[in-house]
Amino acid sequence: MWRVIKSVLAAFFGVQKEARRREDFGRGDGRAFIVAGIVMGVVLVVLVALIAHLAAG
Amino acid sequence: MRTMLVWATGALALAGIPQAALANGWNMPVGVTDVSRDIYSLHMVIFWICVVIGVLVFGAMFYSLFRYRRSQGASAAQFHEHTTVEVIWTAIPLLILIGMALPATATLRTMYDASQADLDVMVTGQQWRWRYEYLGEEVAFTSNLGTPREQIAGGDEKGENYLLEVDEPLVLPVGQKVRLLMTSDDVVHSWWVPDLAVKQDAIPGFVNENWVRINEPGIYRGQCAELCGRDHGFMPVVVEAVEPEQFDQWLAQRKEAATQAAMGIDREWGLDELMTRGEKVYGSICASCHQPDGSGSPPTFPALAGNQAMLDERARHIDTVVNGVSGTAMPAFRSTLNPVEIAAVITWERNAWGNETGDIVQPSEIAEQLSE
Amino acid sequence: MATHLPPKPAPQYSEATAGGMAGAHHDRPRGLMRWVLTTNHKEIGTLYLIFSLTMFFIGGIFAMVVRAELFQPGLQLVQPEFFNQMTTMHGLIMVFGAVMPAFVGLANWMVPLQVGAPDMALPRLNNFSFWLLPVAFTLLLATLFMPGGGPDFGWTFYAPLSTTYAPPSTTFFIFSLHLAGISSILGAINIIATILNLRAPGMRMMDMPLFVWTWLITAFLLIAVMPVLAGVITMMLLDINFGTSFFNAAGGGDPVLFQHLFWFFGHPEVYIMILPAFGIVSVIIPTFARKRLFGYASMVYATASIAILSFLVWAHHMFIVGLPLVAELFFMYTTMLIAVPTGVKVFNWIATLFQGSITFEPPMLFALAFVVLFTIGGFSGLMLAIAPADFQYHDTYFVVAHFHYVLVPGAVFAIMAGVYYWLPKWTGHYPHLRLAQWHFWLSVIGVNLTFFPMHFSGLAGMPRRIPDYALQFADFNMVTSLGAFLFGASQLLFVAVVILCIRGGEKAPAQAWEGAEDLEWTVPSPAPLHTFDTPPDFKPDQP
C-alpha cells in the first residue's frame, strides 16, 4: 500500500527511478495505482482548496 | 543558431535597459494607487525571475548546441536519467513558485477588501458608453467617446488623446476610498484604467465590487477591455482625480443641474425645443446603433427612418424606449434618461429624417408612465 | 495498465486488415471516389493534413486583414463589424480547423506506424471523422456571406454577446462547431482504440514513442471536454431559438455560467493543442542529438500531470469576473503548479541535448525553435498566473502575445517540425534543404517580429480585439503588422517545399534520419499503402 502511494506521489512530482518504475509496471495489475491516483488527485484538490481558504482568512 | 544567439543577446540587452525607460510606454505603468504600485512590483519581480531562469536555461541549451555539434566531432553519451538532478530541478521551481505566491496572496487580499468606503459609485456598461451614478447623491450621467468620427474614419489629424477622450469624465476625490460597483445593461464589458490598476468585468445581472484610493490628482485614461460588440474599441474610460474640496464643489454643481433638468417635467413643451434636445440625446445615445441618419444596421438594429410600424404605433414606440425589448439588443432607458430626455428623443425620432408625423411627446406623459 | 504480456491480436485487428486488403485487391475506387471512400490511415492522414493546411491559409488571410487594418491608427480598410468577424473567424479556424486537424492528421499517419499496427482500429469511423470537417468548416465560412455577417463575438463567444446580441448566423456557427466536435471525439476514440489494442507484440505502454503517449493522453482530454463544449453551445442554441434563459440575466440566467462552462472546455483544449507538440519534439530532439530521450518516464508523468491539472485551472481565464477571493487563490495556486511539470519537460529536452552529437536538419531547427519560443510563452504564462498582476494583463495584447507564442512557434512549429521529419517517410524524398532553411529562418524572424512587440503594447495598455487604437501603440502595431506579413508570406515557401518534395528530390532510405529509431523507420520510404500486415518483431531497447 505504502509502495503504491509512494509511486503515485512520485508520478505527481514527475520523477521516478527507472528501476522502481519497471518494478511497478512489472506487477501486471494497474488497478491499485489508478485508485490511488484518483484518491490522491482528490486529496490534492482538497489540500489546495484548504490552503486557499486559510490564505483568504 | 545565429538568430537564437541574437535573441539571447537581445534579451540581455533588454534586461540592461533602465527601468525608467521601460516604464515609459514599454511597460506596465506604476500607477497612482498603493495597489497599482504593489501590482507593478509583483510584475517586475516575476519578470526578473523569468529573465534569470531564461538566461540559465537558454544558456545551458545554447552551450550544449554549440559544444556538442557533430560537425565538431562530438559523439553522444549514453546516459538518459539521473534521479537526483531531476528531483532538484523539480523542487527548485516549486520553491520559487511558493515564494511568488506569498506576496501575490497578500496583494490580492488588499484588493478584495472594499469595506469602509467613503464614496460609492455605480458604473454601468452600455453598448457603447459608460454610465456613472454617485450613489446617495442623485448625480448620474453617461460618458461617451469624445473623439470626432472625422478623426477615426476621415482624414482629420488625430488629437493627442485619440480614442481616449470622453465628453464627461468620471470625477473622483483623491485620498478617499471609492467603492466602484460594476454592472451592465446589455453584454459583458470591462472597466479598466491602467494607472489605477482597476479592471473589473461589468456583467448584466451581477454587481461586481472593486475599489480605488487615488494618491495624486490628474487625468487617467483607459478603455473597455472585454469585447462587447461593434464599438468595443470606442468605449474609453476617463477618470479625473481632484482634491476633495474641489470634488464637493463639483458634486454640488451637478446636483443643482440635475434639479434644474427635472423642473421642466410638468410644463408644456413645444416641438422645436423638444427637437433640439432630442437631437442631442439621439446623437449621444441612439446613433451608435441606429446610425446618425436613422438607417440602423439591420437585422440587429432596425432602421428608424421610414419605419412605418414605429410611426403607426406611438404607444409602442414609447414603450420600446422606456422598457426596452427583451431578447433583443434594445435596452430600457427608464433609469438611464430622465423624462424630458425620453420625451425629446421620441419626438425627434418621430419627426426627423422625413418621419414628419408632427407628433409631440410631452415629458409629463413619460413621467406618468414611469410612475405607474 | 501494464501489459507485460504481448497484446492478443484483437478481432478488429484481423478484420481491419482483411477489409483493407480486400479493397486493394478488388474494385478499388479510383479518382475522386478513392479519396472520398478511403479507409486507409495514410490516405486519411494526408486528407487531414491537406485540409489543415488549407484552413491555415484561410485563417492566415483573416489574420492578414486584421493586421492590415491595425497597421496604422484610424479605420482605413474595414468596418468594426467586419473586423470583429475577422478576429473571431481567425481564432475559430486556426484552433478548430488548422491546429487540431493537423495533429489528428499526423496521428493518423504516424500512430499506426509507430506502434506497428496495419491501420487505425476503426477505419470506416476514421473516414467519417474526416469528412465531417469539410462540411463543418464550409458551413462556418458560409456564415460570412449571410445577412448580419458571421460570428463577431470572439472565438471565446461569451454570452450574451453570442446569444441575445449575436447575428442571425450564430445558429449555423453552433451547428458547425457541433460537427467539428463530433469529428474530434470520433477521432479520439479511434486513436485510443488503436494505441491500446493494436500495438506490436512485445511493445509495452512504456515502450511507446512519446508522440504516441502524448496523443493517448490528448485523446482522453478530447473525450472529456468536447461534450462540455457541445453542452454549452446547445444551451446557446436554446437561448437563441427556443426562449430559454441559461445565459440571459433578464430571464434569471447567468452570463458567468457560460464562462465557467466554456473554460472548463477551453483550458484542456489549450493542452489538446500543445501535448502532441510535446510528443513530436520529444521524438525529434533525440533523433538529431543521437542520444536517448532524457527522463522518458518523467516525460510521460509530466504529460499526465499537465493533463490532470488542466481540469483544475479553468477560472484563471476569469480572474476579473468577480470570483470570490478563495476561488481566485485556488486557481492562482493550481495554475502556478502547472509550471512545474512544464518546466520538467523543458529541462529534459535540454538534458537530452547535453553531451549529444547534434546536427541541424530542418526538423531539428523547428524543434529547437519550439523549445526556446514555447518557453518564452511559458514565462508570460507564469506572469499571467499571478492573479493580482493579471488584473493589469487580462484582455490586453500581453495575453495575445502569450497565447500566440505557445500556439504559433509552439504548436505550429512543432507541426512543421513533424512534417519535415516525416516527409521522407511519406514521399520517399528529402525536403529541399535550402528552401526549408529559408522557410525556417524567415518564419522565426517573422514570428518574433509579430508577437514580441505585442508584449509591450499589452503592458502599455492596449486591449485586445479593438479595430483602432490610441496613438501611443502605433509603433508596436506597425512592427507587428510587418512581422505578420513576413510570417504569412514565408508560409508560401512551406507549400513550395512540400509540393517539391512530393514531386521529387533526393531519395530517402527506409531509415531516413541516422538517429531515428522508432518502428516507422523500419518500413520502406515512401511507406507503401499497407504496412505491418504481419506485426513487426518489436524489441524494446531496454533490457
DSSP string, C452-472: HHHHHHHHTTPBSS-SS--GG
Domains in chain C: boundaries: 39-522
Whether B119-261 and B265-371 share one fold: the answer is: no
Q: Are strands B119-126 and B178-184 parallel, antiparallel or unpaired?
A: parallel
Kindly tell me if the per-residue pLDDT of C399 is higher than 70: yes
Is residue C172 within 8 Å of C140, Cβ to Cβ? yes
Q: In this complex, which chains have at least 3 CB pairs below 8 Å with chain A?
A: B, C
Q: From CA C237, how far away is CA C90, in angstroms rounded?
A: 22
Q: Does C206 touch chain A (CB under 8 A)?
A: yes
Is residue B203 within 8 Å of B183, Cβ to Cβ? yes
Tell which phi-psi region holds residue B184, choosing left (phi > 0), alpha (psi between -120 and 50) or beta: beta
Kindly tell me if the per-residue pLDDT of C15 is higher than 70: no
Query: Chain A partners of C305 at a C-beta cutoff of 8 Å?
Result: 11-12, 14
Burial of B259-292, coded b for 16+ CB within 10 Å and e otherwise, reads eeeeebbeeebeeeebbebbbebbebbbbbbbbe
Query: Chain A partners of B83 at a C-beta cutoff of 8 Å?
Result: 15-17
Query: Chain C partners of A23 at a C-beta cutoff of 8 Å?
Result: none
Higher-confidence position of C402 and B284: C402
Kindly tell me if the per-residue pLDDT of A16 is higher than 90: no
Q: How far is B173 from chain C, CA to nearest CA, in Å?
A: 23
Is residue B108 within 8 Å of C395, Cβ to Cβ? no
> Are C301 and A15 an interchain contact pair (Cβ–Cβ within 8 Å)?
yes
Q: From CA B304, how far away is CA B293, in angstroms rounded?
A: 9
**Residue stretches of chain B with pLDDT short of 70:** 1-24, 327
Fold classified for B265-371: Cytochrome Bc1 Complex; Chain D, domain 2 (1.10.760)
Report helix, strand or coil for C187: helix
Kindly tell me if the per-residue pLDDT of C352 is higher than 90: yes
- pLDDT tens digits, residue range C116-147? 999 999 999 999 999 999 999 999 999 999 99
Q: From CA C96, how far away is CA C273, in angstroms rounded?
A: 10
Q: Does C338 touch chain A (CB under 8 A)?
A: no
Q: Does A43 touch chain C (CB under 8 A)?
A: no
Peptide bond into C167 cis (omega under 30): no
**Mean pLDDT value across chain C:** 92
Kindly tell me if the per-residue pLDDT of C343 is higher than 60: yes
Choose among C504, C536, C533: nearest CA to C521.
C536
Q: Please, which residues 249-268 of chain C have a Cβ atom closer than 8 Å to chain A? A: none
The percentage of residues in chain C with a pLDDT greater than 70, rounded to a whole number, is 94
Kindly tell me if the per-residue pLDDT of C22 is higher than 60: no
State the pLDDT confidence band at C41, using cuts at 50, 70 and 90: very high
Q: What was the pLDDT predicted at B288? A: 78
- pLDDT tens digits, residue range C279-312? 999 999 999 999 999 988 888 888 988 898 899 9
Q: What was the pLDDT predicted at C541? A: 66
Kindly tell me if the per-residue pLDDT of C23 is higher than 70: no
Is residue B350 within 8 Å of B302, Cβ to Cβ? no
What separation in angstroms does the CA of C288 have from each of B205, C214, C349, C431, C542? 57, 20, 12, 16, 20
> Are A11 and C305 an interchain contact pair (Cβ–Cβ within 8 Å)?
yes
Burial of C88-102, coded b for 16+ CB within 10 Å and e otherwise, reads bbbbbbbbbbbbbbb
Catalogue the active-site residues of C: 90, 119, 155, 183-184, 267, 269, 271, 282, 316-317, 342, 345, 464
Higher-confidence position of B166 and C15: B166
What separation in angstroms does the CA of B77 have from each of B66, C346, C355? 16, 19, 6
The count of other CB atoms within 10 Å of the CB of residue B23 is 15
> Are A14 and B83 an interchain contact pair (Cβ–Cβ within 8 Å)?
no
Q: What was the pLDDT predicted at A7? A: 81
Q: What was the pLDDT predicted at C341? A: 86
- pLDDT tens digits, residue range C425-456? 999 999 999 999 999 999 999 999 999 999 99
Count of structural domains within chain A:
1
Question: What is the DSSP secondary-structure string of B235-278?
Answer: -EEEEEEE-HHHHHHHHHHHHHHHHHHHHTTSSPPPHHHHHHHH
Q: Right CATH number for B2-73+81-111 from 3.30.479.30, 1.10.287.90, 3.40.50.620, 3.90.1150.10?
A: 1.10.287.90
Range of the domain at A17: 2-56
Q: According to CATH, what is the number of the domain C39-522?
A: 1.20.210.10
Query: Chain B partners of A48 at a C-beta cutoff of 8 Å?
Result: none
The percentage of residues in chain C with a pLDDT greater than 90, rounded to a whole number, is 83
Q: Are strands B170-173 and B236-242 parallel, antiparallel or unpaired?
A: parallel
Is residue B344 within 8 Å of B355, Cβ to Cβ? no
Domains in chain B: boundaries: 2-73+81-111, 119-261, 265-371
State the pLDDT confidence band at C422, using cuts at 50, 70 and 90: very high
Kindly tell me if the per-residue pLDDT of C16 is higher than 80: no
Q: How far is A27 from chain B, CA to nearest CA, in Å?
A: 22
Pick the residue from chain C with its C-alpha nearest to A12: C305
Q: From CA C388, how far away is CA B103, in angstroms rounded?
A: 10
Task: Kindly state which CATH superfamily the domain B119-261 is placed in.
Answer: Cupredoxins -  blue copper proteins (2.60.40.420)
Query: Chain A partners of B81 at a C-beta cutoff of 8 Å?
Result: 17-18
